[in-house]
Structure 1
Amino acid sequence: MPADLALRFDPAVVVLSYLTAAFASFVALDLAQRVRAPDAAVARGWWLAGSLSLGTGIWAMRFVGMLALRLPFAVGYDAAVTLLSWLAAVAVSAIALRVAAEDRLTPRRLAIGALSMGAGICAMHYTGMAALVLAPGIRWNWALVAASAGVATGASAAALGIFFWLRRLPHDWARWGQGLAALVMGAAVAGMHYTGMAAAGIDAASVCLSAGSLGGDNLGSLVAAATFALLLLTLFTSALDARSQRRTSRLQQSLQAATTELHEQALRDPLTGLANRQLLDDRLQHAVARGRREGVRLALLTVNLDGFKPINDSFGLSAGDHVLREVARRLQGLARGHDTLARLGADEFALMLEGEVGETTLAQVAQRLLDALAAPMAGVPGAGSQPLRLSASVGIAFYGGEGPGEALIAQADSAARSAKRAGGNGFAFFEAHMQAGVREQVELARDLRAALAGEPGGGTLALHYQPKVATEEGDITGVEALLRWQHPQRGAVGPGVFIPVAERFGLIVPLGDWVIAEACRQLAAWRDEGLQMRVAINLSVQQLRQPDALVRRFEEALARHAIAPGQLTCEITESVAMDDASATQRALQRLATLGLALSIDDFGTGYSSLAYLRRLPVSQLKIDRSFVQDLETSADARAIVKAVIELAHALSLQVVAEGVETEGQAAVLRGKRCDKLQGFLFARPMPAEELSRWARDHRGSATGLRFSDSLYSELDEGANV
Structure 2
Amino acid sequence: MGDQLLQEIAARLRKIESECIRIFRVSGDEFVAIAYGTDHKSAEQIAQHILSLIRQPVYIGQHELHITSSIGVALYPQHGDNPETLMRLADASMYIAKEEGRNTYAMYTESLQSKLSEQIWIEHQLHKALDLNQLTLHYQPIVEGITSEILGIEALLRWNHPERGLISPTQFIPIAEQSGLIIPIGQWVLREACRQNKKWQDEGFQKVRIAVNLSARQFYSESLTEEIRTILEETELTPQYLELKITEGFMIKDPDYVNTVINGIRAMGVTVSIDDFGTGYSSLSQLRNFSVNVVKIDRSFVQNIGTDRNNISIVRAIIELAHGMNLKVVAEGIETETERKLLQQHNCDEMQGYFFAKPMDSDRFAQLWRQRMINSTIIESRVKIRN
Q: Are 1:474 and 1:705, in contact at CA under 8 Å, matched by a contact in 2?
A: no
In 2: Cα distance, 1:646 partner to 1:438 partner: 45
CA distances 1:154-173 after superposition (whole Å, capped 9, x unpaired): xxxxxxxxxxxxxxxxxxxx
Match of 1:551 among 214, 221, 225: 225
Match of 2:213 in 1: 538
How much does 1:542 deviate?
1.7
How much does 1:348 deviate?
2.0
Match of 2:384 in 1: none
In 2: Cα distance, 1:465 partner to 1:399 partner: 49
Match of 1:432 in 2: 110
How much does 1:565 deviate?
0.9
CA distances 1:335-357 after superposition (whole Å, capped 9, x unpaired): xxxxx9742xx532469x9xxxx
Q: Secondary structure at the match of 1:679?
A: coil
Match of 1:612 in 2: 286
How much does 1:496 deviate?
1.2
**Amino acid of the structure 2 residue aligned with 1:438:** L
Q: Are 1:462 and 1:484, in contact at CA under 8 Å, matched by a contact in 2?
A: yes
Match of 2:170 in 1: 496
Q: Are 2:305 and 2:312, in contact at CA under 8 Å, matched by a contact in 1?
A: yes
In 2: Cα distance, 1:432 partner to 1:539 partner: 35
Match of 2:252 in 1: 578
Match of 1:642 in 2: 316
Match of 2:333 in 1: 659
Q: Which has the higher helix share?
A: 1
The normalised TM-score by structure 1 is 0.43
Mapping of residues 114-263 of structure 1, within 5 Å: none
In 2: Cα distance, 1:649 partner to 1:595 partner: 21
Match of 2:125 among 439, 442, 447: 447
Match of 2:2 in 1: 317
Change (3 A) 1:397 1:479: farther
Q: Are 1:394 and 1:426, in contact at CA under 8 Å, matched by a contact in 2?
A: yes
CA distances 1:572-629 after superposition (whole Å, capped 9, x unpaired): 1223333433332222122112221011111122231333211211111111111212
Match of 1:699 in 2: 373
Match of 1:670 among 344, 352, 357: 344
Change (3 A) 1:447 1:327: farther
Q: Which has the higher strand share?
A: 2
Match of 1:478 in 2: 152
In 1: Cα distance, 2:377 partner to 2:338 partner: 17
List gaps (5 residues or longer) in structure 2: 63-68, 381-387
Match of 1:413 among 73, 78, 91: 91
Change (3 A) 1:464 1:501: same
Match of 1:623 among 287, 297, 303: 297
Question: Which structure is larger by alpha-carbon Rg, 1 or 2?
Answer: 1
In 2: Cα distance, 1:410 partner to 1:324 partner: 23
CA distances 1:615-672 after superposition (whole Å, capped 9, x unpaired): 2111111111112121222222211111111111111111111111111211111111
Change (3 A) 1:590 1:397: farther
Q: Are 2:284 and 2:322, in contact at CA under 8 Å, matched by a contact in 1?
A: no
Change (3 A) 1:394 1:533: closer
In 1: Cα distance, 2:379 partner to 2:164 partner: 36
The normalised TM-score by structure 2 is 0.77
How much does 1:444 deviate?
0.5
Q: Are 1:324 and 1:347, in contact at CA under 8 Å, matched by a contact in 2?
A: no
How much does 1:433 deviate?
2.5
**Amino acid of the structure 1 residue aligned with 2:329:** V
**Amino acid of the structure 1 residue aligned with 2:218:** Q
**Amino acid of the structure 1 residue aligned with 2:5:** G
Match of 2:181 among 497, 507, 513: 507
Match of 1:64 in 2: none
How much does 1:361 deviate?
11
Change (3 A) 1:676 1:322: same
Change (3 A) 1:671 1:425: closer
Q: Are 1:318 and 1:381, in contact at CA under 8 Å, matched by a contact in 2?
A: no
Change (3 A) 1:606 1:552: same
In 1: Cα distance, 2:259 partner to 2:310 partner: 31
In 1: Cα distance, 2:103 partner to 2:321 partner: 38
Change (3 A) 1:407 1:479: farther
Q: Are 2:209 and 2:241, in contact at CA under 8 Å, matched by a contact in 1?
A: yes
Higher relative contact order (CA 8 A, sep 6+): 2
Change (3 A) 1:409 1:503: farther
CA distances 1:135-175 after superposition (whole Å, capped 9, x unpaired): xxxxxxxxxxxxxxxxxxxxxxxxxxxxxxxxxxxxxxxxx
In 2: Cα distance, 1:319 partner to 1:587 partner: 21
What percentage of residue pairs aligned between the two structures are identical?
A: 37
In 1: Cα distance, 2:13 partner to 2:220 partner: 17
State the number of aligned residues. Answer: 350
Q: Are 1:460 and 1:485, in contact at CA under 8 Å, matched by a contact in 2?
A: yes
**Amino acid of the structure 2 residue aligned with 1:545:** Y
How much does 1:417 deviate?
6.9
In 1: Cα distance, 2:242 partner to 2:152 partner: 10
Change (3 A) 1:565 1:418: closer
How much does 1:398 deviate?
8.0
Matched, 1:602 2:287: no
Matched, 1:690 2:364: yes
**Amino acid of the structure 1 residue aligned with 2:220:** R
